[in-house]
Structure 1
Amino acid sequence: MTVLGSAVGDELARLRAENAALLAQMRHRDAELEVATRMLVARAQTMTSVIDAVTEQSIIGTDVDGVVRVWNPGAERMLGLPRADVVRRRSITEFHLPEELAEAGGGLAALVRVAQEQGSDVRDWTYVAGDGQELTVSVAVTPRTDDRGVHAGWNFVGTDMTEARATERRKDQFVSLISHELRTPLTSILGYLELVLDEPDLGEQARGYLGTVELNAQRLLRLVGDLLFTAQVDAGRFTLQPGDVDLVAVVRAAEECARVTAQCTGVEVVLDVPAGGLVVPGDAGRLGQACDNLLSNAVKFTPAGGRVTLALQAAWRTPDGTVVDAPQDGAVPVARLAVSDTGIGIPAGEQAQLFARFFRASTARRHAVPGVGLGLAITRAIATAHDGTLEVTSTEGEGTTVTITLPR
């Protein structure tokens, strides 16, 4: 009996010890769960506060069926509906034009198809506000997951572009209208000038006057062409006529066109081109326009006694984007044209704005250099259309180098 009692006592002691250990483990797990819960709550509160702090963009979160679950103050402001009237009550598709959704395939699928396939999508959609007003909104769509990583719905972040798009349309219409109204009479003026200048009995003085008129008419015609070109680029209507282009011939033609102006202003133009030619795929007319722009700019911004150098060479672009003079493993062949001048240069603080249309550096304004600030913007558009790049380095008072790099 004593032995049995002792065994029972030992077993009870063991069970008590296990029970105490399990109780301690449970309390530890409870503490860990409490900490994790607090962290999740804090994270959710932080995310909510961040979303609620955004007032200029609408942030709309939906479940997998498109029912709204998140509606931030930006959405309230943009669409004119309070959160309580929308969350769990309405679908994201109710705020879109039905015909626009139908054209894209219909329903929620039209909004999320690209994001579902590619992970994200950004495009313009027409939102319909609570009062029926239609807004052009740039909407970024991304999938939303829960804490387990399971797909839980979609996020729609919208930026109201109504006024911006209307301004762009008005600007394009204005540029196209003005360009058309200017180009037609200028073409007529130049045609009649050509006829008059061909008259053998025309006096030298009159011929000189008419030559000046023709020169300025041609200048206006080029400006109209530049305005039309920028409008085409903005509207996505800029097309190329592809072919094989010998850049050596393009550079020589640009130098020949600029030679008279350079000589008149006392600027030396130096060519450094390969003897055997350098061919790239592209549009010969557009590449010639780009080269003309770079050379005329260089000559225009270089005082008398200065020098402009056109250096064309075969090169290679490495996978990290560096351009080198000799082939390397993984490098692709490119052509590099550098137009360097010893001119007035560009202040360092203004160089980031050089490719903005109608921007003119302060040095150009101080020296009264003529121009409207379209050349570099047009040249970069041409380079980009050819899958190339355009880079500018400049030191005020010392000169500027503009380099265009094109695949070959």
Structure 2
Amino acid sequence: MTVLEPAPAGELTRLRAENAALRARMQHRDDELEVATRMLQARAQTMTSVVDAVTEQSIIGTDVDGVVRVWNPGAERMLGLLRADVVRRRSITDFHLAEELLEAGGGLAALVGTAQERGRDVRDWTYVAADGTELTVSVAVTPRTDDRGVHAGWNFVGTDMTEARATERMKDQFVSLISHELRTPLTSILGYLELVLDDPSLGDEPRRYLGTVERNAQRLLRLVGDLLFTAQVDAGRFSLQPESVDLAAVVRAAEETVRVTAAATGVEVVVDVPDGGLVVPGDAVRLGQACDNLVSNAVKFTPAGGRVTLALRPAWRTAGGAVVATPGDDAVRVARLAVSDTGIGIPAGEQGQLFARFFRASTARRHAVPGVGLGLAITRAIAAAHDGSLEVASVEGRGTTFTLTLPG
């Protein structure tokens, strides 16, 4: 029989010390794990509390297959289903109008495709509540990740826009109806005015009076046209008649249109366009309308002795979106029209609202400059329809520059 020799006292001491150190490290790790667990639980509880506190918007979280994992009180209120009846039992697609999903490509991919490509997507969808009610909902879709940063599903944050969209449709219908009812008699008035003004026996004084009537009738007709145009844009019925357009000729025509008004108010208008022209694809009528709006605005907001400059140049847009004056690798050609004035300018805090319908800057109101606030909204809509952009730079009291950029 083998008899085990007892370990030397020094070896036992060393082993006990290592064991104690190992136990201490394990206890430290246990303590760290407990703290981390409590922090994660606290963070999860905080997030749950925040999500549950939102009652005016639906917040729905899904896994990668679209199965609902998060369903806040706002979703309960909007769609009429309790959390317990939905989580892990229903798919996000169950609450969308089937026909609308099918038109967009069908299934979960129709809802998340854009967010998958761009990181986010916001658009109107039709939600169907438990009682069959159809709701127009503005839905923001973003990817959802887990604690390791791995894609775990999707977040859908919905705002009920049913009443707002209905109000917008009623407003647009009203604008269209009233505009049509105004345009018909105005056209008749202008037709008869033309007949009367063509009468050679008409005296000078009546001709002056009727000339004033004609100018104001034309002004009303332009306003009616602007109202109809904005209604078409909002309703998605705005279409273009594309062709090759010499933008230089459009700019010269815009200057010619305001020449008499500029001369009467003491404003100098300078045109700087390429001698050989600058051709872009687009709708000649709409691009003319956009240029006319920018140029007439510049003249209108410039006091006597001031200057308005119309500068048209070719440029290039880089892959990063910057517009530069010289061509480079992967840059695409664009046309840039800068309409600059030395007028009253726009306060910095109001420039973000400048392209909203019916908005008028405080400087315009203070100086009693006439207008209804539709021109810039229309011009930006025309630019966007051409895949272009309209930007503003202004200093109050020193002038304004509007830059229209169009694909070349």
Q: TM-score, normalised by structure 1?
A: 0.86
Matched, 1:37 2:37: yes
Task: Give the whole-Å Cα distance in 2 for the aligned partners of 1:272 and 1:343.
Answer: 19
Q: Secondary structure at the match of 1:303?
A: coil
State the match for 1:126 in structure 2: 126
Give the Cα separation in 2 of the matches to 1:107 and 1:318.
Answer: 36
Letter of the 1:347 counterpart: P
Choose 365-374 or 2-11, whichever is displaced more: 2-11
Matched letter for residue 213 of structure 2 = V
Q: Which residue of 1 aligns with 2:208?
A: 208
For the residues of structure 2 that align with 1:325 and 1:106, how far apart are their CA atoms?
A: 44
| Secondary structure of 1:5 counterpart | coil
AA aligned opposite 1:238? F
Question: Corresponding residue for 1:296?
Answer: 296
Residues of 1 paired with 2:71 and 2:384: CA distance?
A: 39
* Closer, same or farther: CA 246–143 of 1 in aligned 2, 3 Å: closer
Q: 1:182 deviation in Å?
A: 1.2
Partner residue of 1:286? Answer: 286
* 315 and 49 in structure 1: CA distance in 2 versus 1, 3 angstrom threshold: same
Q: Distance in 1 between matches of 2:284 and 2:366?
A: 35
Distance 2:359 2:309 in 1: 24
Structure-2 residue corresponding to 1:251: 251
Distance 1:92 1:14 in 2: 62
Structure 1 match to 2:218: 218
Residues 235 and 201 of structure 1: is their aligned pair in 2 closer, same or farther, counting only changes over 3 Å? same
**Partners in 1 of 2:146 and 2:46 — Cα distance?**
16
**How far apart, in 2, do the equivalents of 1:379 and 1:188 lie?**
28
- Residue 87 of structure 1, CA deviation: 4.2
CA distance in 1, matches of 2:113, 2:330: 36
| Greater mean alpha carbon deviation, residues 32-41 or residues 200-209 | 32-41
CA distances 1:252-308 after superposition (whole Å, capped 9, x unpaired): 111111111112222221212221111112111111111111111111112222222
The structural deviation recorded for 1:234 is 1.3
1:186 matched to which residue of 2? 186
Number of the residue aligned with 1:277 = 277
Deviation at 1:327, TM superposition (A): 3.0
How many residue pairs get matched?
A: 408
Residue in 2 that maps onto 1:170: 170
Looking at structure 1, the residues matched to 132 and 270 of structure 2 have their Cα atoms a distance apart, in angstroms, of: 64
User: Which sits farther off after the overlay, 79-88 or 18-27?
Assistant: 18-27
**Cα distance 1:142–1:278, how it changes in 2: closer, same or farther (>3 A)?**
closer
Rounded to whole Å, the distance in 2 between the matches of 1:116 and 1:269 is: 49
Question: Tell me, which stretches of 5 or more residues in structure 1 are unaligned?
Answer: none
Alignment correspondent of 1:339: 339
Greater Cα offset, 228-237 or 55-64: 55-64
Task: Give the distance between the partners of 1:322 and 1:102, measured in 2 at CA.
Answer: 38
Distance, in Å, in 2 between the alignment partners of 1:34 and 1:134 is 48
Q: Which residue of 2 aligns with 1:356?
A: 356
Corresponding residue number in structure 1 for 2:387? 387
Task: Report the AA paired with residue 346 of structure 1.
Answer: I
Q: Name the CA shift for 1:275/1:6 in 2 (closer, same or farther; >3 Å).
A: same
Q: Distance in 2 between matches of 1:203 and 1:323?
A: 57
Note the 1:18-167 alignment, pairs <5 A: 27=27, 29-62=29-62, 68-84=68-84, 86-87=86-87, 92=92, 95-97=95-97, 121-129=121-129, 133-142=133-142, 144=144, 154-167=154-167
Q: Does 1:317 align with 2:320?
A: no
The CA deviation at 1:55 is 2.5
- 1:232 corresponding residue in structure 2: 232
Q: Secondary structure at the match of 2:5?
A: helix
Give the structure-2-normalised TM-score: 0.86
Structure 2 counterpart of 1:310, which letter?
L
Cα distance in 2, alignment partners of residues 125 and 348 from structure 1 = 36
CA pair 141-401 structure 1, distance change in 2 beyond 3 A: closer
The letter for the 2-side match of 1:159 is T
- Shift of the 369–68 alpha-carbon distance from structure 1 to 2, 3 Å rule, reads same
Give the CA RMSD over aligned residues: 3.3
Overall identity of the aligned pairs, in %: 85
Label 1:328 to 1:108 Cα distance change in 2 as closer, same or farther (>3 A). closer
Distance (whole Å) between structure 2 residues aligned to residue 392 and residue 350 of structure 1: 11
Task: Specify the SS of the correspondent of 1:165.
Answer: helix
SS at the partner of 1:190? helix
